[in-house]
Structure 1
């Protein structure tokens, strides 16, 4: 009988055993989690209810916000619960489920960021947008599904202690007593190709967009176009350049504010919804 069938749970060590530091971590992550879910949920509601946000750009933003909410819920709530209850164990099935959805959502976000700058009507249309969104989700699924099938064949006979706060790809491989050379190579290759592919497409997209913007005669329109593009570039820079703990909390929290605070249409839609709520209560 193979040892991976006997293993029933993993132990996630977390970030720190220091009680005072755990309090700080809990407060920080809890606030980031609440703001992330509330901000992204607000964007979804606004894009569904406001007629001025029924454009191609906000279709992608709606998908992106849904991915952010799901991505955040994969790891943060369980980690917050572990800090409170002091229970660090996670079942084998739940651990692999967390690994699957974490990478699935994370890679799908990367792929979805690629077509988001191409929201101009001359480049996009209502038929292409759903296809590109579906392709992003499919790309995320195909990135993690083959390696996950191989991970299910691993033996965990030496230890079940994972030096991380959630079930991530490489920390899981480190506790296996099987030969993980192929899986490590696949993980590195997929991560490298995904990053290189998405960044190359984004750079190519922006070269085309900047060329188009520079041909716009009015300076105010050029400024508005550059402002929209800069929001997207900030999100990409954050997604590519932060650590795992920040990627699961800070990135999803900042994205709604980056897109809304720099976008007059979203701010106006929020004001309209707020006024409707206040007006209905005063009736």
Structure 2
């Protein structure tokens, strides 16, 4: 092996979303606006829920946690891109990149788990209204969130640990605006079979389990709603689920399109889908 291939990468170059300076300026302004609106919108939701005692219910408790995760999720990727643009740099150190991957995996999975917990909350409220307060006790709600955090952090630690075992040689150019795990895997000069296998098995399990819980919850919800005697009752029941279903569709639609295939086939379409659930979803969640 020649000397160039033996050189270990100490930093990566994030090329961003466009190679043209004019487009980069537009994208910088757009992403800065999106980030500010995302932070303000989600922060206002958290502040409103904390200040209004009438909103101290399980549904709004989970919503506040979702807003908090969305703030963190956006802060993992966008600020580094904005700083690099201001400094005229495209570099990110190896340690920063691995750290970004860890928190990226943590928060993206936490979003999925919270959406699943919120679906269960809606199922309990609609299908078991008389037992709702007994089932969704404050301690149980906190337990659901804590368990979600533990699982997502363990999953992120596993993937990051496997990532740091890989060897990165001379190629350090990432065709993205952050350290997305898939483009980083493509740069490795090591065998990534184990990483891809873990993505399919463990990553698929972590992703599809909450999604399956959402599907099952809404299957029970719709089956019970259709039994209601009046159209008004049906509309009232479904109105509490519409916004949640919209967020679920946007979030999981983009994720399943990107991460349910081998890393070698990562494409421009996948980059667009990644932007949807890393940038667009946290932005529109407060409005939805």
Picking from 72, 75, 83, the partner of 2:74 is 72
Q: Kindly tell me: are residues 223 and 56 of structure 1, through their superposed partners in 2, closer, same or farther at Cα, counting changes over 3 Å?
A: same
Residue 118 of structure 2 corresponds to which residue in structure 1?
116
Normalising to structure 2: TM-score of the pair? 0.83
Residue 16 of structure 2 corresponds to which residue in structure 1?
14
Partner SS for 1:158: coil
Picking from 192, 199, 207, the partner of 2:219 is 207
Cα distance, 1:28 vs. partner?
1.8
Residue 153 of structure 1 corresponds to which residue in structure 2?
165
Contact map agreement 1:47 1:62 (CA 8 A) in 2: yes
Picking from 274, 279, 286, the partner of 1:244 is 274
Q: Kindly tell me: are residues 91 and 55 of structure 1, through their superposed partners in 2, closer, same or farther at Cα, counting changes over 3 Å?
A: same
Cα distance, 1:209 vs. partner?
2.2
Question: Partners in 2 of 1:153 and 1:87 — Cα distance?
Answer: 27
Residue 177 of structure 2 corresponds to which residue in structure 1?
165
Q: Over residues 129-179 of structure 1, what are the superposed CA-to-partner deviations in whole Å (9 max), with x where a residue is unaligned? A: 111111221221122211211222221123222222111111111111111
Q: Kindly tell me: are residues 126 and 4 of structure 1, through their superposed partners in 2, closer, same or farther at Cα, counting changes over 3 Å?
A: farther
Q: Kindly tell me: are residues 30 and 159 of structure 1, through their superposed partners in 2, closer, same or farther at Cα, counting changes over 3 Å?
A: same
Residue 87 of structure 1 corresponds to which residue in structure 2?
89
Contact map agreement 2:17 2:177 (CA 8 A) in 1: yes
Cα distance, 1:27 vs. partner?
2.0
Partner SS for 2:199: helix
Q: Kindly tell me: are residues 217 and 125 of structure 1, through their superposed partners in 2, closer, same or farther at Cα, counting changes over 3 Å?
A: farther
Residue 187 of structure 2 corresponds to which residue in structure 1?
175
Question: Partners in 2 of 1:42 and 1:4 — Cα distance?
Answer: 50
Give yes or no for the alignment of 1:253 onto 2:283: yes
Residue 105 of structure 1 corresponds to which residue in structure 2?
107
Q: CA RMSD in A?
A: 2.0
Q: How many positions carry a matched residue from both structures?
A: 256
Cα distance, 1:33 vs. partner?
1.0
Question: Partners in 2 of 1:222 and 1:166 — Cα distance?
Answer: 44
Residue 260 of structure 2 corresponds to which residue in structure 1?
none
Residue 32 of structure 1 corresponds to which residue in structure 2?
34
Cα distance, 1:127 vs. partner?
2.2
Q: Kindly tell me: are residues 221 and 53 of structure 1, through their superposed partners in 2, closer, same or farther at Cα, counting changes over 3 Å?
A: farther
Can you give the 5+ residue segments of structure 2 that lack an aligned partner in the other structure? 126-131, 255-272
Cα distance, 1:47 vs. partner?
0.8
Picking from 46, 49, 54, the partner of 1:47 is 49
Residue 196 of structure 2 corresponds to which residue in structure 1?
184
Can you give the 5+ residue segments of structure 1 that lack an aligned partner in the other structure? 259-283
Partner SS for 1:10: strand
Normalising to structure 1: TM-score of the pair? 0.84
Residue 133 of structure 1 corresponds to which residue in structure 2?
145
Question: Partners in 1 of 2:159 and 2:38 — Cα distance?
Answer: 29
